[in-house]
Structure 1
Amino acid sequence: MVKDLQGANKLGVVAMPYLGIYLPIYDKPYDQYALTKGANRLKPVDQNQNVLTANIWSGNLMLVAHNYTDGTTMFSALQQNTGQVEPYIIAGNVQKNYWLKGREAYVATEDFVCKYTIEYQKVVSEYDISIRKDTPNSIIQIITCLEPKDDMRIITVGNLTKKYTWDEIPFDVAKYFDNEIYPFNVR
């Protein structure tokens, strides 16, 4: 893992090999500098909108990073058609998108690597906080702007399907966290 940001709490690394996404994960979601250096975790909230002290391995894991509309930097590759709102919004109607269904997202910390299988994508308003509710099952929600309509957010949703310790992780998965083989796709 790359050197930590000054004053940031690095939680781990997210890898989505199919899209070429390899980013450090920080715990500073509202810090503009941290958002330029990696993905940042949002913490879930309860029914009264109180922020929960969540374990990264259970419930609703939310990661947010920029979409630079280039298809490669940060979470830009999550938008199916770079710079176009379709197929997320068609004729003014919001649509679910399944182009990543079955693809993997991996999250690694110093203790574990979790594999999430993507189910779908959806878009929500930047002010929609319903996605921040905690969940009884372990899911991931990967969040980025929909460009050029950056008041909307693309939410890529997946379910936890496997959890490995570093002693039991297959080599073909462990290599995604070797920064010399797969460098971070940050600016």
Structure 2
Amino acid sequence: MAAHNFNDGQTGFSALQQTTNNDSPYLQDGKVRGSSWLNGKSVLLANSKGIYRYEITSQNTVASTEVSVLNPTKKAQLTIISCLFPSTAYQIITHAELKKHIRGVMHPIN
């Protein structure tokens, strides 16, 4: 999944950045770093096959030109991509593992 970071802590995926308008802890002394501040938090996704609960395991930072983050993985996981702000030449990659799938049919609200 990918969405913009609007640097307001609420819109798009901006809430995934630890602090607004601050590259730390993702960039320190010109070096890319990661963050563990969201580790253990749940992400819920739903479709017609049910509800999926993922657990965030890590965040790392890559150059915006790095495309290997889009490579398929062997196990079910969620990869969320958003820009770092203000250093938009980098992206925050949030990783989450599938923990539970609740099967069921989703019905539209009439």
Do they superpose with TM above 0.5?
Answer: yes
CA deviations on 1:69-127 (whole Å, 9 max, x unpaired) are 00011111011010110001111111121000000011110221111100110111111
Does residue 69 of structure 1 match 2:2?
A: no
Q: Structure 2: which 5+ runs fail to align? A: none
Greater fraction of residues in helix? 1
Amino acid paired to 2:39? K
Percent of aligned pairs with the same amino acid: 35
Read off the aligned partner of 1:88 and give its amino acid letter. Answer: Y
Distance in 2 (CA, whole Å) between partners of 1:66 and 1:149 is 13
Q: 2-side partners of 1:109 and 1:118: how far apart? A: 20
Give 1 or 2: higher strand fraction: 2
* Aligned-partner residue type, residue 138 of structure 1: A
In the alignment, what sits opposite 2:93?
A: 155
Distance of 2:88 and 2:104 partners within structure 1: 38
Q: How many residues align?
A: 107
In structure 2, how many angstroms separate the alpha carbons of the residues matched to 1:106 and 1:93?
32
Report the 3-state secondary structure (helix = DSSP H, G, I; strand = E; otherwise coil) of the residue aligned with 2:36. coil
Structure 2 residue 27 is matched with structure 1 residue 89: yes
| TM-score, structure 2 as length reference | 0.91
- 1:103 has 2:58 as partner: no
Q: Which runs of 5+ in 1 are unaligned?
A: 1-62, 168-178, 180-187
Structure 1 stretches of 4+ with a deviation exceeding 4 A read none
More relative contact order, 1 or 2 (CA 8 Å, 6+ apart): 2
